[in-house]
Amino acid sequence: MENFNLVQLDFGFECEPLPTQKKTSKSIKKRTNDFVFNFMDCLTSPIIVFKSAWQDTIPKDILKNIKLSRLLCSMQQEEMASLTETLAYIMPRTYEAPMPTEWVNIYIWLGLQYASQFKNKEQLNAMTDISPSKLSEYEMGLLNNLRRWIYDKRRKALKDKLKSTEKSEIKILSENQKELFEE
């Protein structure tokens, strides 16, 4: 039932015919595995932050809202890190040294998006005064590249974690089997 044959009937309407290319759909098992991995990614992947002595200063409410933001991005089928996650990544970097103007604009804009998404009125009032209402194309390109990079690093870390867990489980199973058959 994976390959469907389409038959187009002529009812006299002037419409473009449907393409006759056969679309191959993913198998149910593959789609299920992708769904499970994406869901695990949203809930259990580590939070990637800029390596700095300041990485412990990220507010707990931002860290708490990252999982929800990941789920929202996953539902929208964005294959990028969420804006909240990107804000958490950049925050320790801001304490290290001054940043170029583009990155300052991106950081402040991310703060505005966070405040508006999670309805923090105090932050929202402060951010609307200083934040650019819109990023330039160049700044959006920088932001999207960073979001993709964080997303790739996060998923790679989860895959590595799953592989190491799987190897340790296999080792435990083989040791248990040896105990069963020794005597």
Domain residue ranges of the chain, discontinuous segments joined by +: 63-142
Report the C-alpha gap between 143 and 149 in whole angstroms: 10
Q: Which residue has the tokens 């966070």?
A: 114
Residue-wise pLDDT for 127-176, tens only, equals: 787 888 899 999 999 999 999 999 999 999 998 988 887 777 666 666 66
Residues contacting residue 52 through CB under 8 Å, at least 6 positions apart: 92, 93, 95, 96
Residue 6's pLDDT is what?
A: 61
How do residues 64-89 score in pLDDT, each as one tens digit?
Answer: 999 999 999 988 988 999 999 999 99
Q: ∠ at Cα 62 (56, 65), nearest 5°?
A: 135
Average pLDDT taken over every residue of the chain:
82
Residue whose entry in the numeric block shows the structure tokens 């804000």: 87
Number of other residues whose CB lies within 10 A of the CB of residue 114: 23
Count CB-CB contacts under 10 A for residue 39: 13
- Looking at the chain, the whole-number percentage of residues with pLDDT higher than 90 is 33
Residue 52 has a pLDDT of 86
